[in-house]
Amino acid sequence: MSTQIVENRPKLIIKGVSKRFKSKRADVQALDNVSLDVAEGEFVCLIGPSGCGKSTLLDITAGLTMPDIGEVLADGQLVEGPGRQRLVMFQESALFPWLDAFGNVMFGLKLRPDLKRRERREIADHYLQLVGLEKFKHAHVHELSGGMKQRVALARALAPDPQVLLMDEPFAALDALTRDQLYDDLQRIWSESHKTVIFVTHNVREAVCLGDRVVLMSSRPGRIAEVFDIPLPRPRDINSPELSSYASRIATALKGTVSKVVSE
Amino acid sequence: MKRVVIASLFFLALAAVWELAVRSGRWSPVLLPSPISVAEYVWAALLDGTLIEATWVTLKRLLLGYAVGVLIGLPIGLLTSSSQIMEDTFGSLALGLQTLPSVCWVPLALVWFGQSEGAMLFVVVMGTVWSVIIATDHGARTIPPIYARAARTMGSKGLHKWTRVILPASLPFLVSGMKQGWAFAWRSLMAAEIYVTILTGFGLGHLLHYGRELNAMEQVIGVMLVIVVIGLVADRLLFSPWERLLHARWGTNVK
């Protein structure tokens, strides 16, 4: 089993986090008193209707946004800003067009002074190979397909060896076939690397396929509505019937949170 | 090859129309010299060295002034893009002074620096620096915020962020800004050379000016052609490599 949960302190502790976005045109309570513990090596999927604050919660965990109230602890340390131990893989490809695939993977590695030049290159090569793109090492970003770009982005996020990987709808813009392939790859890579992952999505099947737990959020204000354990064996096939029964349960609950908002 | 042939034919046709206009006799040859006499002037001036000498003097002034303008403008542009105080002060100053035609600096330069190389340098720098500031500022502001966020999570900050993320990310705007700065530098130097006689060097603008004084229209037109050719060559040498790099990396302008 890849889900060896270390029984002591959780890897990530999100404690009573609230966040309000105020501008001239809108005043949105994005998150209202959200608390969540994530164990070491656990894969947690955050799911919810758009505008439920799931991406904001991810940003706060990354340290890119500061909460108004509450705090996030990573390994018991207060998160006060972005850090190399919690890397983010973004929705759209945030790859740098002025660098090739290899250069992008090297970007985070070059910011690690503890590594030697040769070690960095070896690590970058290793991760490009892990995502199956060793042949596209020197390709420019625009020459890669959408799926390949997100593979490079995954390699870039994994290469500096963060303890926590934060993924913000990384596969949302891809076609179904490419996505299915990436689910397999991500499960394989995750089972080897034992990273702690928070994965934000609005796709229920995707959440069930990948997550040890699926955290359902409701919107306005963003709160945790329900948490589902997914004890299915891995690797999981997104099209399997066992997965469907979990997915339909969560989908029903998700619809409940949406209709509540609409009827308001 | 085909493109070269088409372009050559086009310019030959232009010259032919010009020659026909001269031969029609409607205009005095003093006002409209024939393309052949212009070519003869250019050839003779190349051989006796006046044209080469003048080109060298002008290019030295241009490159020095341009380099100074870029070296001052680039960092200021980055600062105005990131600091409210810098935007309100230097940013507004650049915006205002950019609208001032650079030839307007010539009288001031003469009073301050006299008929010297310093005056030339001053005019070229004033012609370049404001548009470089504005282009850099615009470029740094137009970077997709996701690049900066991704870089931040990987631990990039301070000088590293500026040199490895913001500068390369704004390269498409920087190159067009540099190009615009170059065009302004060129224009301001020509204006300065035509207006100001200085003894330390006889540039293309002076050659143009004295062509008019001597009523030698073939010289005036010949020097104008040389200025156009230098502009084209400089564009090819200075900017085309950058533009090719940008197109390759960003995947823009794919034919």
The ipTM estimated for the assembled molecules is 0.85
Is pLDDT at A1 greater than 70 in this prediction? no
Structure confidence by residue, pLDDT tens digits, A62-118: 999 999 999 999 998 899 999 888 999 987 778 999 999 999 999 999 999 899 999
Q: What is the pLDDT of residue A260?
A: 63
Q: What is the pLDDT of residue A50?
A: 81
Q: What is the pLDDT of residue B248?
A: 87
Backbone torsions φ then ψ of A175, nearest 5 degrees: -75, 160
Cα–Cα dist B156/B96, whole Å? 34
Q: Which of A20-29, A135-144, A201-210, B138-147 has the lowest mean pLDDT?
A: A20-29
Q: What is the pLDDT of residue B173?
A: 86
User: Averaged over B166-184, what is the pLDDT?
Assistant: 88
Sheet of A86-89: strand order equals A86-89, A164-168, A196-201, A43-47, A213-218, A223-229
From A5's Cα to the closest Cα of chain B, the distance in A is 26
Q: What percent of chain A has pLDDT over 90?
A: 69
User: In 3D, which of B22, B39, B15 has the Cα closest to residue B218?
Assistant: B39
Pairing mode, strands A69-74 and A77-78? antiparallel
Contacts of A170 (CB under 8 A, 6+ apart): A89, A90, A91, A150, A153, A154, A199
Q: What is the 3-state secondary structure (H, E, C) of chain A?
A: CCCCCCCCCCCEEEEEEEEEEECCCCEEEEEEEEEEEECCCCEEEEECCCCCCHHHHHHHHHCCCCCCEEEEEECCEECCCCCCCEEEECCCCCCCCCCEHHHHHHHHHHCCCCCCHHHHHHHHHHHHHHCCCHHHCCCEHHHCCHHHHHHHHHHHHHCCCCCEEEEECCCCCCCHHHHHHHHHHHHHHHHHHCCEEEEEECCHHHHHHHCCEEEEEECCCEEEEEEEECCCCCCCCCCCHHHHHHHHHHHHHHHHHHHHHHHC
Chain B partners within 8 Å of A62 (Cβ): 153
Q: What is the pLDDT of residue B247?
A: 87
* Interface list for A 50-89 with B (CB within 8 A): 62-64, 82-84, 86-88
Q: What is the pLDDT of residue A245?
A: 92
pLDDT class for A7, splitting at 50, 70, 90? low
Cα–Cα dist B68/B76, whole Å? 13
Interchain contact, A96 vs B168, CB within 8 Å: yes
Q: What is the pLDDT of residue B231?
A: 87
Nearest to A82 among B147, B152, B248 (CB): B152
Interchain contact, B248 vs A108, CB within 8 Å: no
B interface with A, Cβ–Cβ below 8 Å: 146-147, 149-156, 160, 164-165, 168-169, 171, 248-251
Nearest to B150 among A63, A83, A90 (CB): A90
Interchain contact, B154 vs A140, CB within 8 Å: no
Mutate to test the interface with B, among A98, A107, A168 (most CBs of B within 10 A): A98
Reduced to 3 states, what is the DSSP secondary structure of residue B15?
helix
Per-residue CA distances from A251 to A49, A105, A206, A233, B128 (Å): 11, 36, 12, 21, 61
User: In 3D, which of A72, A104, A71 has the Cα closest to residue A89?
Assistant: A104
Interchain contact, B149 vs A143, CB within 8 Å: no
Q: What is the pLDDT of residue B253?
A: 67
Interchain contact, B151 vs A107, CB within 8 Å: yes
From B98's Cα to the closest Cα of chain A, the distance in A is 30
Buried b (16+ CB within 10 A) or exposed e, B182-211: bbbbbebbbbbbbbbebeebbbbbbbbbeb
Residue B42, both tokens: 């250019």
In this structure, the number of other CB atoms found within 10 A of the CB of residue B143 comes to 18
Is pLDDT at A264 greater than 60 in this prediction? no
Interchain contact, A108 vs B155, CB within 8 Å: yes
Cα–Cα dist A176/A172, whole Å? 9
* Interface list for A 166-205 with B (CB within 8 A): none
Pairing mode, strands A86-89 and A164-168? parallel
Q: Which residues pair with A14 in a beta bridge?
A: A36, A72
Chain A partners within 8 Å of B164 (Cβ): 107
Q: What is the pLDDT of residue A3?
A: 47
Average model confidence (pLDDT) for chain A? 89
Q: What is the pLDDT of residue A9?
A: 81
**In terms of C-beta distances under 8 Å and separation of at least 24 residues, what long-range contacts does B159-168 make, across chains too?**
B160/A111, B162/B78, B164/A107, B165/A96, B166/B78, B166/B140, B167/B78, B168/A96, B168/A98, B168/A99
* A132 interfaces chain B, CB cutoff of 8 Å: no
Nearest CA in chain A to B146: A94
User: Averaged over B22-46, what is the pLDDT?
Assistant: 90
Residue A155, both tokens: 């390699």
Cα–Cα dist B37/B222, whole Å? 9
End-to-end CA distance of chain A: 44
Mutate to test the interface with A, among B147, B149, B152, B153 (most CBs of A within 10 A): B153
Structure confidence by residue, pLDDT tens digits, A132-166: 999 999 999 999 999 999 999 999 999 999 999 99
* A108 interfaces chain B, CB cutoff of 8 Å: yes
Mutate to test the interface with B, among A96, A99, A120 (most CBs of B within 10 A): A96
Total length of chain A: 264
User: In 3D, which of A84, A91, A45 has the Cα closest to residue A224?
Assistant: A45
CB A39 within 8 A of CB A5: yes
Average model confidence (pLDDT) for chain B? 90
Cα–Cα dist A142/B4, whole Å? 31
Nearest CA in chain A to B150: A94
Interchain contact, A108 vs B147, CB within 8 Å: no
**In Å, how far from its chain's centre is CA A140?**
25
Chain B partners within 8 Å of A96 (Cβ): 147, 150, 165, 168-169
Pairing mode, strands A69-74 and A223-229? unpaired
Per-residue CA distances from B108 to B111, B122, B182, B221 (Å): 5, 10, 22, 29
Structure confidence by residue, pLDDT tens digits, A159-196: 999 999 999 999 988 888 889 999 999 999 998 888 99
Q: Which of A252-261, B34-43, B47-56 has the lowest mean pLDDT?
A: A252-261
Structure confidence by residue, pLDDT tens digits, B212-245: 888 889 999 999 999 999 988 988 898 888 888 8
Contacts of B75 (CB under 8 A, 6+ apart): none
